Amino acid sequence: MNYIPALGYDWLTPLYDPVVRLTSREAAFKRALVEQSRPAAGQQILDLACGTGTLALLLKGAEPQTDVFGIDGDPKILKIAAAKANNANADIRFDEAMSFDLPYADASFDRVFSSLFFHHLTWEKKMKTLEECLRVLRIGGELHVADWGLPANPMMRIASGVIRLLDGAETTSDSFEGRLPTLIRDVGFERVEETNYYNTLFGTIRLHRARKPWRSSG
């Protein structure tokens, strides 16, 4: 498949950090995502579709004795992420691969994170990606997701029209109609819950947490 960069075009990739920072309350919702996960020493953590590595750096900073991996399908954005980690003297491994075909063994991670990513995927790729998240998590491991969600009020519904227009209804409708928690549950996660939400310039970002069951289906 042809990879679509985070902002739609390769030439916009260098603008990704300032755009997200200025429009999405990035610092607030990513800090909350990290805090709700309670990272602990010795854990293996995956930042799925890590982009420029902002969340991966926050995770490593929250508990330096974790092993943090970032994965993305865009080699150009991974170079930015690696440079940021190097400048911060943070030991983070970055891998290039697609979310629906992760290059990791079963039960490799204690935590998997995703930030503003699932709304880019078709339904089929959302489900395959969630199945991959379940596969690479250890039993009892947790999935932590921040993404556009059901608008909190009429103003947020109007604001979300920009994202719907830019990214297309096919991929964004599951998010903006509030179906993402159901999809997470459908692939086998349990204790799926919304933990917080943030109203932003382009709509409502909702945070979710889910757990891989102790009774694994394999």
pLDDT band of 1, cuts 50, 70, 90: very low
Question: Does residue 1 sit within a domain?
Answer: no
Question: Does residue 2 sit within a domain?
Answer: no
User: At which residue do the structure tokens 């799926």 appear?
Assistant: 192
**Range in 13-22, 132-141, 194-203 with the lowest mean pLDDT:** 13-22
Give the CATH number of the domain where residue 166 resides: 3.40.50.150
Please write down the long-range contacts of 213-216, taking CB distance under 8 Å and 24 or more positions apart: 213/139, 213/188, 213/189, 214/139, 214/140, 216/139
Look at residues 86, 45, 94, 85 and name the one whose alpha carbon lies nearest to residue 66.
45
Residues listed for the chain: 218
Q: Which residues contact 136 (CB under 8 A, 6 or more apart)?
A: 46, 102, 104, 105, 106, 107, 108, 109, 112
Tens of pLDDT, residue by residue over 36-94, are 999 999 999 999 999 999 999 999 999 999 999 999 999 999 999 999 999 999 999 99
pLDDT of 113 > 90? The answer is yes
User: At which residue do the structure tokens 């992420």 appear?
Assistant: 81
Count of the separate structural domains present in the chain? 1
Question: Does residue 86 sit within a domain?
Answer: yes
Domain range holding 69? 10-211
pLDDT band of 9, cuts 50, 70, 90: very low
